[in-house]
Amino acid sequence: MDNAYVIGVDYGTDSVRSVLVNARNGQEIASSIYHYPRWKKGLYCNPSINQFRQHPLDYIEGLEYTIKDCLKQSGEQISANVKAIAVDTTGSTPVAVDKTGTPLALLPAFEENPNAMFVLWKDHTSVKEADEINQTAKKFDINYLQYVGGIYSSEWFWAKLLHILRKDKAIANNIFTWVEHCDWIPFLLTGGKDALHIKRGVCSAGHKSLWNESFDGYPPNEFFIAVDPLLNGFTDNISADTYTADKKAGNLCEEWAQKLGLSTSVVIGIGAFDAHMGAVGGQIEPYYLSKVMGTSTCDMLVAPNHEVDGILVSGICGQVNGSVIPGMLGMEAGQSAFGDAYAWFKNLLMWPLKNLLSTNDNPALDDLANQLEQQIIPQLSKLAEKIEPNIQQEFAIDWLNGRRTPDANQALKGAFFDLNLGTDAVQLFRALAEATCFGAKKIVDRFNEQGVPVKGLIGMGGVARKAPFIMQMMADVMDMPIKIHRSEQTCAIGAAMFAATAAGIYTKVEEAMSAMGQGFDAEYHPNPQRVAIYKLRYEKYTQMGMLIEEKLTSKDNILTHIA
């Protein structure tokens, strides 16, 4: 059998990665990574108000660089046999485009306007708008939020659109439609020139945009007008047709074929979100919660449709037919901060080094600061691992970036409890790590309580592979094993599997998973002695979380009135 090659492109929060893979056996021939230069400089972002925007040029330049770099590494013979490209991205990460499908930030009038750029998944500027969508939904006989867990999030498509329309009249006057990143890149690669022809993936449409088969598409225009008349007519410019990621978006256009040095016969697959393709790259199994653990977590679970027919799990990020594996129900949950929580703590400890040593303009001191920064989390983990859990220890609530699931609420805040003058950095880090594991357990509990049994855990992503202390704690807290996928690039590999399926190399993505999957190289089992104490500490986490949520959402809360 002749070799055939495919390219998977994975757009993460900080960088884009491409892998060139042998579609027959999953062998990685080449890989390349490109860190977004504008994002790295902190441009267009304001963390103090949870504004996180990314310029489309970061995406375009990274796409060209990483694919060309992979092809350069692999050689002309392999390049000539590339059959398909598929893309995954963060989400919901939408952008305003004009009638031609061009992001407004690529037009001279808007090139420095953050509102014309991609609104990154973790941008929480639209908390107010999400709440209005939730309140409006209660007024309709049909529950248009039933397939997204019953609660609409500020991280999602329509809330972000409404916020931008309200915030910026110039954008409102020039926008034609609103497009997810994962849908726009295939449109770009296929040379699209008419925004009405953008092919929307069922993954993005179903989980973030309120599309569902039972509605024959999106909720009616009357629903959106009831939220705010600014949304009037937007569904007219969004096709009600959606596509699973194993389908073809088109072929590589002449312009991009010349840029990349590839043929126009190369198939471009329908795009999807990173964690959804990552679950496939990580060889997801029915009823196994596949956890992509990076800056945040995205947890995917698939089940045969006939086995979960009629079940609606409340408080998750949606359940959509075919969103992960065509022919199965895909269910999504996740945490708004996971690796980001550890990064926050590291940055807290690094403050004097970054802000005091830097004033000396001494390269040697800068190098020392960089070395220390790389060692902080590994050393904290090493020392925290030696601490046996007990009920009196410090503990934390992990809502440093709000709560994604269960029951989205981006207005919630993190907290630490039981601190004293003996509390040190190691104990605080341990409490924070434990809180992220407790947050993960809340998700598992919600699935189990509502009729979708979680039979096991699959760990993927940077934290899963690089943090054995946290993975062991995860197994102890969950009281179930967690197996870690071998690949360091499960999202990109998943995209490559879908590329191979879209190109017809495999008839369905399960065949691609079997042929191209890399398997697992670690498994963590619960420590029975720690399981019991974690159960008690989890009860405490639950009680204090309820207290925080009650106080932050109470109309009598003095902090709310001051804010």
pLDDT in tens, 265-310: 999 999 999 999 999 999 999 999 999 998 899 999 999 999 999 9
**How would you label 171-196 residue by residue, b for 16+ Cβ within 10 Å and e otherwise?**
beebbbbbbbbbbbbbbbbbbbeebe
- DSSP E strands in 192-266: the ranges are 200-201, 242-243, 248-251
**E-assigned strands of 357-422?**
395-397, 415-417
pLDDT at 359: 60
Phi, psi of 20 (to 5 degrees): -105, 125
The encoded tokens of residue 214 equal: 């039972």
Spell out the domain ranges in the chain: 5-121+177-207+243-282+488-510, 339-486+527-562
d(CA 451, CA 12): 32
Q: What are the C-alpha distances in Å from 455 to residues 226, 327, 377, 442?
A: 42, 20, 31, 15
- What gap in Å lies between CA 523 and CA 95, rounded to an integer? 40
Below-50 pLDDT ranges, the chain: 1, 558-563
Nearest to 275, CA basis, from 15, 11, 53: 11
* Spatial distance between the Cα atoms of 242 and 148, rounded to a whole number of angstroms: 17
| pTM listed for this prediction | 0.90
pLDDT in the model for residue 558: 44
Among candidates 89, 114, 294, which has minimal Cα distance to 208?
89
Domains 5-121+177-207+243-282+488-510 and 339-486+527-562 equal at CATH topology level: yes
Distance CA(197)–CA(500), nearest Å, equals 24
Kindly report, residue by residue over 247-272, the tens digit of the pLDDT.
999 999 999 999 999 999 999 999 99
Q: What is the pLDDT of residues 63-114, one digit of tens each?
A: 999 999 999 999 999 999 999 999 999 999 999 999 999 999 999 999 999 9
38 within 8 A of 54, measured Cβ to Cβ: yes
The DSSP bridge partners found for residue 288 are 456
Which tokens is 404 given? 């994604």
Sequence-distant (6+) residues with CB within 8 A of 195 are 97, 98, 99, 100, 101, 176, 177, 179, 237
CB 129 within 8 A of CB 159: yes
**Does the 339-486+527-562 domain belong in CATH 3.30.420.40?**
yes
Give the CATH superfamily of 5-121+177-207+243-282+488-510: ATPase, nucleotide binding domain (3.30.420.40)
Q: Is 236 exposed, middle or buried (0-12, 13-18, 19+ CB in 10 A)?
A: exposed
Largest CA distance in the chain: 70
Strand partners, 242: 200
From 562, 549, 93, 498, select the one nearest 279 (Cα to Cα). Answer: 498
Q: What is the dihedral of CA 406, 409, 410, 411, to 10 degrees?
A: -140
Here the tokens at position 189 are 């690669």
What Rg, from alpha-carbon coordinates, does the chain have? Answer: 23
2 contacts 472 by C-beta, under 8 angstroms: no
In 61-143 the beta strands, taken as DSSP E runs, fall at 82-89, 94-97, 118-119
Query: In terms of C-beta density within 10 A (0-12 exposed, 13-18 middle, 19 or more buried), how is residue 533 classed?
Result: middle
Torsion over CA: 205, 207, 213, 215 (sign): negative
Q: Residue 365 has what pLDDT?
A: 79
Q: Kindly report each contact of residues 319-323 with a partner whose C-beta sits within 8 Å and lies 24 or more positions away, as own/partner.
A: 319/147, 319/149, 320/147, 320/202, 320/203, 320/206, 320/207, 320/212, 321/202, 321/206, 321/213, 322/202, 322/244, 323/202, 323/203, 323/206, 323/207, 323/244, 323/272, 323/276
Using one digit for the tens of pLDDT, what is the confidence trace for 485-502?
A: 998 899 999 999 999 999
Bond preceding residue 92 cis, omega within 30 of 0: yes
Pairing state between β 297-304 and 288-293: antiparallel
Quick one: pLDDT at residue 362? Answer: 75
Taking the alpha carbons at both ends of the chain, their separation in whole angstroms is 66
Work out the number of other CB atoms within 10 angstroms of the CB of residue 393.
Answer: 17
Length of the chain: 563
Res 369: pLDDT:
83
